[in-house]
Amino acid sequence: MGAEILGVDLVDLNDARFAEIEHALFRHKMIFFRDQAIDHADQEAFSLRFGPFAADAYGKGMEGHPNVHAVIKEADARAGMIFGSGWHTDSPFLAEPPAITLLRGVDIPPYGGDTIWVNTALAYQTLSPVMQGVLQDLKVHMSMGKVVASLRALDPDWSRQVESAPDTAEKVAGSFHPLVRTHPKTGEKGLYCDVTYANGIEGMTQPEADALLGFLRSHITQAAFSCRLRWEVNTVAVWDNRLCLHQAFNDSDGFRRELYRTTVTGEAPA
């Protein structure tokens, strides 16, 4: 889970080098690069090497760069929940969730504000054959409902912004996706289940689904499958939402944290 790639300038990539980067991403689920002094346009260009931009489920992009989204916490902010907190894969309530996410660090606290990922393919591989068989044909219900409820209590201003969006009801209704997801390019299988958005399992009662999802969440997020990134200025991280989960830590009060995110369109999970 996770790999650093050295000796690469993301602004100057030929096709052979990009192919190596993409291969490393699919193998390690998250890759990162240090010392990449790039701007919004450069990040957009690098993102497009992986595929077209995905529509963002939570807000508008930067002026002049609508596909670049700011992830900023000011030094004086005190929030019970920050964007990206809680184990999740990006926007799985959509019929076609984003495949890949890129995040670039611009203003980084001297400590705190790390991001951690877990490898859901490795989590699947370590289940018993019996459990793999139990899960194989199940579908998980992914919904924005719990996030909206949390926002009402913790951040009313952000909650009003999210709930006023015309498609919020559709996102709360969510989508049913395979609980065991197959990567469309590598054929690798992984568990498609998280803490933030997974609400139930098709055909199961809520107590039954809660028991199974609770086990899977604990299994997936154990330390053995994880990688924790200490951000630095000009760090760029790229991850494959199809086979990993991530979360950000809300532990940098008193320091400004500024990052910029782009996402790449995905396919209906299968």
> By C-alpha distance, which of 244, 228, 242, 216 is closest to 126?
216
Does residue 23 register a pLDDT over 70?
yes
Radius of gyration of the chain (CA): 18
User: In this prediction, what percent of the chain has a pLDDT beyond 70?
Assistant: 91
Mean pLDDT over 147-160 rounds to 67
Q: How far apart are CA 206 and CA 233, in angstroms?
A: 44
Per-domain residue ranges for the chain?
3-264
Q: How far apart are CA 176 and CA 123, in angstroms?
A: 21
Q: How far apart are CA 257 and CA 264, in angstroms?
A: 23
User: In this prediction, what percent of the chain has a pLDDT beyond 90?
Assistant: 80
**Which CATH superfamily hosts domain 3-264?**
Clavaminate synthase-like (3.60.130.10)
User: Whole-number mean pLDDT of the chain?
Assistant: 92
- For the stretch 43-82, pLDDT in tens is 999 999 999 999 887 778 999 999 999 999 899 887 666 5
Which of 72-103 are b and which e, b meaning 16 or more Cβ less than 10 Å from the residue's Cβ?
A: ebeeeeeeeebbbebbbbbbbbbeebbbbbbb
The answer to whether 245 and 88 are in contact (CB under 8 A) is: yes
